[in-house]
Amino acid sequence: MHPPERSMHPLKQYWLAEELERDLGDPCNPESVMSFKQVIELDELEAFPEAELTWLYNWKLHHYYIPTNCGGEFTSFEEFIAFVRVMSRRDLTTSISFTTLFWSFLTWMAGTDEQKQELAQFMKDMSGAMCLSYSERAHGSDLLAGDVTATKVPGGYLLNGEKWPINRATISGVTFVLAKTDAEAGSRSLSLFMVKKAELDPATYSNLPKIKTHGIRGSDMSGIRFDDCFIPEKMRLGKEGVGLELALKGFQITRALCAAFSQGAADTALRTTLKFTLGRQLYGKTVFDIPHPRRTLVDAFLDILICDCANIGAGRGFHVVPEQFSVWSAVVKYFVTVTLEKMVQDVSVVLGARYYMREEHDFGIFQKVMRDNAIISVFDGSSIVNLHSLILQRRHLAKFRARRDAQSMEAIATRLQTTFTLDQPVPQFAPERLELFSRGADDVLQGLEIALEQLQALEPPDLEPEVLEQIEALTHAVLAELNAQDDFLGTAAFEHGHDQSPESFELAKKYCTLHAAAACVHMWLHNRKTLGEFFANGRWLALSLRRLLVAVNPALDLPPRLDDEPLAQELLRLYGEDRMFSIVPFQLAKSEVQENPIHAITELQLQAQ
Amino acid sequence: MQLQNSSSKPSDVLVQADLAQENSEAIAIETIQTWIVNQLAKQLSLSAPSIKVEEPLTRYGLDSIDSVTIVGDMEDWLGVDLPSTLLWDYPTIQKAATYLVQEMNIAPGAIASEPETPVQPTKETVGKWSLWGRGK
């Protein structure tokens, strides 16, 4: 299966990311495109990454945001997540500015053939970019409260009002505008418009000044104002009144994909810190040889692997169970971004004072990663919005789970197999199957009993008995926590609306953590024979499950932590071979300058023997 | 009655059939309205009489996603698939119930007599995976 000559990953959905890596080059080399040196300089200048974006367009990466049936190259969200990680590990400013292109999925989902063709041409022929004009200064996440109106006039609408803060509001040719078409129609009061700025009277709209931000400082964070701005009827997506429905479904796509930004940032945070620990000598040994920093970095590696299972599972799940994404997307957007934010904070301790410096070690990339990454859990639906959405669905999840029968379990088992087996193809993404509400379905957690059955069928000798026992015991513990939560919800009072109790938010957070744990188990079970020896061994899984359960319920009586030395060794191997810290450790650009890693690795291996 | 009926003109029969249909429709609408009112009263800790069928549901603090999940409850009760945006398009209890009966032909016979099944503590039987429902 291995392609000849190059050491590309056997899974072809990772080839695009590997090619992009190769062509971008080592980010530590100042001569590379999007090198750390270059992106730090742009950040200091708060400059929009114009040249970097042009390079990506010239590379034709934008074609991978357009589905093949609309004339592009997009086929797989798993592939999409991988290449967004490649961009994001270098520079979130560029990655986020480029990836506003994913708002095109609104048109791929709801547009007419003509609208799809028009947008594809705009993207491909004009290197077009877009932005999402939903937010308003006074209304936070309350979309229905928006004040921007679209008043019907012959041939179209007049737009009035202001959208703010909007990423790429100024430097974009298309803006997706959510506007009120009938103030009395409640959830049907909004309509969505794909507005091509080139077709507007320039006197009727204007851009608001750039907003200075804590991170992604070069971004075009600004706003747009409309004053009796005429837009023709053909710019409306879908029927009048379907704006909120399209907006919520569109978010299901983009929220899950946002996790890939965090994953790229997390890789750099860990890689640059590991590099530092390997090159720095304290008390007669490298920092990595000191137990506490090593444990911190191993735990960070675990966090990345856990988030991989959740997010790669979701990337593939889009193709298999799009109707469940009111749940999956909220889980992933909350869990992955918040977990990796904390992970970056955790490893900052190891870097010490240098984490705070805007130069020094790797051109000061760490502090930029930390600032940039902090917005991912906030934009495109904040943690609170995602948890709230889960709370409202949580009772149905419990109800649906209680009703499963042999037939529905067989169906869940089949879907999980397709979703989590990475060397199996996935069906074409069908955005028309997205639903506002999963009706209580969440295969990942509702298939836990299936995973337990599969675990029971596994037999040593190809597995260490101690590891397998722990995986089984810990998976049982995950199930027990889920059962306890479901039982509690069966008796608890249920609240509608926006006055949910803080306790409900805590329960929703735990649900996300349990979902991630189940995703790890499914991922392992379905890929033990294809993702290499380290993955197959399962020690990482036992350690991950333990880590997640401690977070869910610190009072649990869990088995002791397994020796994590093999994880430290794997971390070093991936670092030494320039591979992504991932369950799919695809090839990164070869690093050209390494600061004494070989010496440290040798020393560590000797110690381990 | 039979004699009268059999001697009636065809148009009278139609009128009576229409009346009977209207009556059964009215009962069905009433049944659905009462169910939604009781459901909301329970979930919102309000008294049933305080919920007016002709008021928009948003009046009771429900947001857009709440409305969608209530449709989920209605599906469970009625045993039929409904558009998840039903309460967006028919935003009062009265409008939604009328739509279900008149446009989706949901008849009294189609309505289960049992109230909604409460969430059970986790079942012990989930097909062949039943043994694994409760840990070691």
Q: What is the ipTM for the molecules in this complex? A: 0.86
* Residues A493, B45: C-beta atoms closer than 8 Å: yes
pLDDT value of position B14:
62
The pLDDT tens digits for A14-48 are: 999 999 999 999 999 999 999 999 999 999 999 99
Instruction: List beta partners, residue A232.
Output: A156
Residues of B in contact with A391 (CB under 8 A): none
Q: A174-180 and A130-133 as β-strands: parallel, antiparallel, unpaired? A: parallel
**Residue A322: pLDDT band with limits 50, 70, 90:** very high
pLDDT value of position A609:
38
| DSSP label at residue A138 | T
How far apart are alpha carbons A569 and A367 in whole angstroms? 27
* Residues A477, B68: C-beta atoms closer than 8 Å: no
The partner residue sitting opposite B119, judged by closest CB among A393, A437, A490, is A490
Mutate to test the interface with A, among B43, B68, B93 (most CBs of A within 10 A): B68
* Residues A393, B62: C-beta atoms closer than 8 Å: no
A290 near A282, Cβ under 8 Å?
A: yes
Tell me which residue of A48, A220, A247, A46 sits closest to A144, measured CA to CA.
Answer: A247
How far apart are alpha carbons A425 and B28 in whole angstroms? 48
pLDDT tops 60 at residue B124:
no
The partner residue sitting opposite B65, judged by closest CB among A389, A398, A476, is A389
B3 touches chain A (CB under 8 A): no
Tell me which residue of A94, A8, A28 sits closest to A59, measured CA to CA.
Answer: A94
The pLDDT tens digits for A508-543 are: 999 999 999 999 999 999 999 999 999 999 999 999
**Residue B5: pLDDT band with limits 50, 70, 90:** very low
Mean pLDDT across A315-320: 98
B59 to B13, B16, B21, B82: CA distances (angstroms): 44, 39, 32, 23
The partner residue sitting opposite A409, judged by closest CB among B44, B72, B126, is B126
The partner residue sitting opposite A402, judged by closest CB among B66, B120, B129, is B120
A393 touches chain B (CB under 8 A): yes
pLDDT tops 50 at residue B121:
no
pLDDT tops 80 at residue A321:
yes
**Residue A380: pLDDT band with limits 50, 70, 90:** confident
Least confident piece of the model among A67-81, A393-407, B95-109: B95-109
Q: Between A567 and B70, name the one with better pLDDT.
A: A567
Question: Tokens 């009966």 belong to which residue?
Answer: B101
Tell me which residue of A299, A267, A314 sits closest to A540, measured CA to CA.
Answer: A299
Put simply, the chain A residues between 253 and 272 with a CB less than 8 A from any chain B CB are: none
* Residues A437, B126: C-beta atoms closer than 8 Å: no
Secondary structure of residue B111 in the 3-state scheme: coil
Residues of B in contact with A243 (CB under 8 A): none
Mean pLDDT across A370-384: 94
Residue B130, min C-alpha distance to chain A (Å): 8
The partner residue sitting opposite A449, judged by closest CB among B76, B91, B129, is B129
pLDDT tops 60 at residue B135:
no
pLDDT tops 60 at residue B114:
no
| DSSP label at residue A188 | G
* Residues A392, B65: C-beta atoms closer than 8 Å: yes
The two most distant CA atoms of chain A are separated, in Å, by 80
The pLDDT tens digits for A203-220 are: 999 999 999 999 999 999
What integer best gives the mean pLDDT of chain B? Answer: 75
Tell me which chain A residue has its CA closest to the CA of residue B92: A186
pLDDT tops 60 at residue A388:
yes
Least confident piece of the model among A347-361, A555-569, A584-598, B119-133: B119-133
Give DSSP secondary structure letters for A421-487: -TTS--PPP-GGG--S--TT--HHHHTHHHHHHHHHH--TTSS-HHHHHHHHHHHHHHHHHHHHHHH
Architecture of domain B2-117: Orthogonal Bundle (1.10)
Structure tokens at A188: 């049907």
A115 to A120, A292, A325, B132: CA distances (angstroms): 9, 56, 25, 51
**Residue A592: pLDDT band with limits 50, 70, 90:** confident
A498 touches chain B (CB under 8 A): yes
Mutate to test the interface with A, among B40, B88, B125 (most CBs of A within 10 A): B88
B44 touches chain A (CB under 8 A): yes
What is the number of alpha carbons within 13 Å of residue A127 lying toward its C-beta? 13
Instruction: List beta partners, residue A222.
Output: A166
The pLDDT tens digits for A463-501 are: 999 999 999 999 999 999 999 999 998 887 777 777 788
pLDDT tops 90 at residue A232:
yes
pLDDT value of position B2:
40
* Residues A480, B127: C-beta atoms closer than 8 Å: no
B108 touches chain A (CB under 8 A): no
Structure tokens at B47: 């008294």
How far apart are alpha carbons A226 and A178 in whole angstroms? 12
Tell me which residue of A291, A267, A211 sits closest to A91, measured CA to CA.
Answer: A267
Taking phi over 0 as left and psi of -120 to 50 as alpha, with beta for the rest, A590 belongs to beta
**Domains recognised in chain A with CATH numbers:** 12-125 (1.10.540.10), 130-237 (2.40.110.10)
pLDDT value of position B23:
82
Q: CB burial class (10 A; 0-12, 13-18, 19+) of residue A192?
A: buried
pLDDT tops 90 at residue A593:
no
Secondary structure of residue A184 in the 3-state scheme: coil
Residue A430, min C-alpha distance to chain B (Å): 18
Residues of B in contact with A556 (CB under 8 A): none
How far apart are alpha carbons B58 and A336 in whole angstroms? 33
Residues of A in contact with B89 (CB under 8 A): 188
| DSSP label at residue A103 | G
pLDDT value of position A601:
52
A90 to A269, A297, A362: CA distances (angstroms): 11, 20, 12
A191 near A240, Cβ under 8 Å?
A: yes
Question: Tokens 């967004």 belong to which residue?
Answer: A84
What integer best gives the mean pLDDT of chain A? Answer: 94
Length of chain B: 136
Q: Between A430 and A606, name the one with better pLDDT.
A: A430
Q: H-helix or E-strand containing B109? A: none
Least confident piece of the model among A113-122, B37-46, B66-75, B122-131: B122-131
Mutate to test the interface with B, among A399, A453, A476, A486 (most CBs of B within 10 A): A399
In b/e form, how buried is each residue of A269-282, taking b as 16+ CB within 10 angstroms?
bbbbbbbbbbbbee
Q: Is the bond preceding A165 in cis, omega lying within 30 degrees of 0? A: yes
Q: CB burial class (10 A; 0-12, 13-18, 19+) of residue A553?
A: middle
* Residues A187, B88: C-beta atoms closer than 8 Å: yes
A230 near A390, Cβ under 8 Å?
A: no
pLDDT tops 50 at residue A1:
no
A89 near A368, Cβ under 8 Å?
A: no
**Residue B58: pLDDT band with limits 50, 70, 90:** confident
Structure tokens at A212: 């200075």
* Residues B119, A402: C-beta atoms closer than 8 Å: yes
Measured at the alpha carbon of residue A6, what is the angle toward residues A2 and A12, in degrees to the nearest 5? 50
3-state SS track over A217-284 = CCCCEEEEEEEEEEEEHHHEECCCCCHHHHHHHHHHHHHHHHHHHHHHHHHHHHHHHHHHHHHCEECC
| DSSP label at residue A5 | S
Q: Between B131 and A381, name the one with better pLDDT.
A: A381
Residue B15's contacts (CB-CB under 8 Å, 6 or more residues apart) are none
Residues of B in contact with A499 (CB under 8 A): 61
Q: Where are the domains of chain B?
A: 2-117
